[in-house]
């Protein structure tokens, strides 16, 4: 046989070997810390700083492996399937849902030295309390404001109703979040609980969106799309979180934010301890290291939205950021839990009705 010839057996061997190598490479570890001293942290991008994690590893001997969270639903379903995380982030009323399904375990706040740094409003949230225990460590919050370009929009659109004005035809850009959009429409049409609307309320919200649709340029999947549309002048109104600062950073036109008169939706999130995790002691050490005011202040400066840590607020004020802090409502944590003004993100009890209404509005 010719030595250089490729035999069928050789092809199959190489193929199988390559497939196995590719599979092993794809399953590869993250190269830091053993599974025992490592925290598997499923969270949003703005909940940590890489340099903070390095520092944590160096000074506290805690290794953190971060996985980005897509949304509350995905986190919820992953935990239900038994994916191995130790700490998971969730929004507002999703937290009781995690607890209800036995996915998280409450903790005793008295055991955490950083707990006292929180605003009292964040320490007394009814839906995050379980007796004397707490179900999540409050991190940050923000209402969804209506942002507008003041050089194009003379009268500030301070209500959802104002967005229906025909002058804004094709000039509004919204984030593509079906439940959030329906809930905002619920705010516009006076729904009692925008994330738990009745069928009649959903019908009213849908009618509002049908009327609003001609004014919507696009539903943006990523913040960058909204920034681009706004920067180019294609859009003049947006509802993306922290839009004024992001657009400024991107070198776009000025954007001003207003709270809608009818109320708005908002997020308030925190870190939860996964019930199946056996690293309770390590997790508590991690939370204490994670919620040091100095690091919270640094996180705020990188991702500016209100945090629940009062000590970090004072630190930032001392650093000369008071105007920014107060403009973003950092000093008003009670607003996050004022149901008349802010409807916090929650899993709709009738999700299919929300999705159907959304599709029926935004289909062709």
Partner 1 sequence: MRSTKSSVRSRIAEYGGLLPAAVLLGGCFGFALVLTVLYSFWQVVDFEVVPDWTLENYRYFFTVDTYVRTFVATLAMVTVATALTLAVAMPFAYWLTRYVSRRWRRRLLIVVVLPFFASYLLRVYAWLGILGQNGAINRFLQAVGVADEPVSILLFNRPAVVLVLVYLYFPFAVLALYVALEQFDWSQVTAAMDLGATGRVAARRVLLPQIRPGIVTAVIFVSIPMLGEYVTPLLVGGTKGVMIGNLVANFFDTGEYSRGAAAALLIAVFVVAIMVVFRRSLELAVPDDA
Least distance from partner 1 to the Cβ atom of residue 12, Å: 6
Count CB neighbours of 225 within 10 A.
17
Residue with smaller CB distance to partner 1, 104 or 140: 104
Residue 362 as a binder of partner 1 (CB under 8 A): the answer is yes
Residue with smaller CB distance to partner 1, 54 or 80: 80
Nearest-angstrom CA–CA distance, 134 and 95:
10
Range in contact with partner 1 (rule: CB under 8 A) among 105-113, 214-222, 295-303, 331-339:
214-222
Residue with smaller CB distance to partner 1, 93 or 325: 93
**310-318 and 293-302 helices, crossing angle to 10°:** 70
Q: Which of 12, 110, 133, 301 binds partner 1 (CB under 8 A)?
A: 12
What are the b/e assignments for 153-183, b being 16+ CB within 10 Å? Answer: beeebebbebbeeeebeebbbbbebbbbbbb
Count CB neighbours of 124 within 10 A.
13
Residues in contact with 335: Cβ distance below 8 Å, sequence separation at least 6, in sequence order: 143, 329, 341, 342
Residue with smaller CB distance to partner 1, 232 or 249: 232
Q: Which of 48, 76, 134, 147 binds partner 1 (CB under 8 A)?
A: 76
Nearest-angstrom CA–CA distance, 105 and 271:
11
Q: Which two tokens stand for residue 174?
A: 């919204």
Residue 275 as a binder of partner 1 (CB under 8 A): the answer is no
Range in contact with partner 1 (rule: CB under 8 A) among 120-128, 187-195, 256-264, 344-352:
344-352
Residue 185 as a binder of partner 1 (CB under 8 A): the answer is no
116-175 residues in contact with partner 1 (CB under 8 A) are: 170
DSSP-H helix ranges across the chain: 8-26, 50-60, 72-80, 94-100, 120-123, 178-188, 199-212, 223-232, 243-249, 280-290, 293-302, 310-318, 322-327, 351-362
Residue with smaller CB distance to partner 1, 97 or 314: 97
Q: Which of 217, 265, 274, 287 binds partner 1 (CB under 8 A)?
A: 217
What are the b/e assignments for 24-48, b being 16+ CB within 10 Å? Answer: eeeeeeeeebeeeebbbbbbbebbb
Decide: helix, strand or coil at residue 6: coil
In angstroms, the Cα distances linking 94 to 78, 105, 248, 269, 299 are 14, 14, 32, 9, 23
β-bridge partners, 90: 270
Residue with smaller CB distance to partner 1, 118 or 153: 153
Least distance from partner 1 to the Cβ atom of residue 159, Å: 21
Residue 193 as a binder of partner 1 (CB under 8 A): the answer is no
Q: Which of 113, 151, 198, 359 binds partner 1 (CB under 8 A)?
A: 359
Range in contact with partner 1 (rule: CB under 8 A) among 118-126, 219-227, 266-274, 299-307:
219-227
Residue 179 as a binder of partner 1 (CB under 8 A): the answer is yes
Residue 66 as a binder of partner 1 (CB under 8 A): the answer is no
Q: Which of 54, 167, 213, 248 binds partner 1 (CB under 8 A)?
A: 213
- Interacting residue ranges for partner 1, rule: CB under 8 A: 8, 12, 15, 19, 73, 76-77, 80, 170, 176, 178-179, 213, 216-219, 221, 225, 228, 231-234, 347, 351-352, 354-356, 358-360, 362-364
């Amino acid at each position: 046989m010719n030595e250089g010839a490729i035999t069928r057996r050789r092809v199959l061997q190489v193929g199988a070997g390559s497939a196995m190598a590719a599979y092993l490479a794809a399953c590869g570890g993250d190269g830091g810390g053993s599974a025992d001293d490592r925290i598997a942290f499923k969270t949003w991008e703005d909940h940590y700083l890489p340099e903070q994690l390095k520092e944590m590893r160096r000074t506290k001997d805690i290794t953190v492996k971060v996985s980005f969270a897509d949304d509350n639903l995905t986190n919820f379903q992953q935990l239900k399937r038994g994916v191995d995380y130790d700490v998971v982030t969730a929004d507002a009323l999703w937290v009781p849902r995690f607890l209800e399904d036995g996915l998280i375990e409450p903790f005793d706040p008295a055991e955490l030295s950083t707990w006292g740094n929180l605003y009292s409003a964040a320490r007394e949230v009814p839906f995050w309390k379980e007796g004397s225990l707490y179900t999540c460590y409050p991190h940050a919050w923000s209402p969804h404001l209506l942002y507008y370009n003041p050089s194009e929009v003379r009268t500030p659109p301070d209500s959802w109703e104002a967005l229906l004005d025909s002058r804004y035809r094709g000039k509004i850009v919204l984030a593509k979040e079906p439940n959030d959009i329906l809930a905002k429409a619920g705010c516009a049409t006076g729904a009692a609980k925008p994330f738990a609307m009745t069928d009649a309320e959903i019908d009213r919200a849908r009618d509002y969106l049908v009327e609003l649709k001609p004014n919507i340029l696009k539903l943006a999947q990523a913040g960058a799309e909204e920034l681009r549309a706004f920067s180019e002048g294609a859009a003049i109104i947006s509802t993306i979180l922290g839009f004024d600062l992001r657009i400024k950073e991107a070198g776009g036109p000025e954007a001003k934010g207003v709270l809608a008169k009818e109320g708005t939706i908002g997020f308030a999130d925190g870190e939860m301890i996964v019930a199946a995790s056996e690293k309770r002691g390590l997790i508590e050490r991690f939370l204490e290291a994670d919620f040091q005011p100095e690091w919270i202040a640094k996180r705020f400066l990188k991702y500016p939205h209100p945090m629940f840590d009062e000590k970090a607020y004072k630190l930032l004020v001392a650093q000369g950021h008071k105007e920014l802090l107060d403009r973003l409502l950092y000093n008003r944590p009670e607003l996050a839990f004022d149901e008349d003004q802010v409807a916090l993100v929650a899993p709709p009890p009738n999700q299919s009705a929300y999705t159907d209404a959304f599709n029926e509005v935004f289909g062709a």
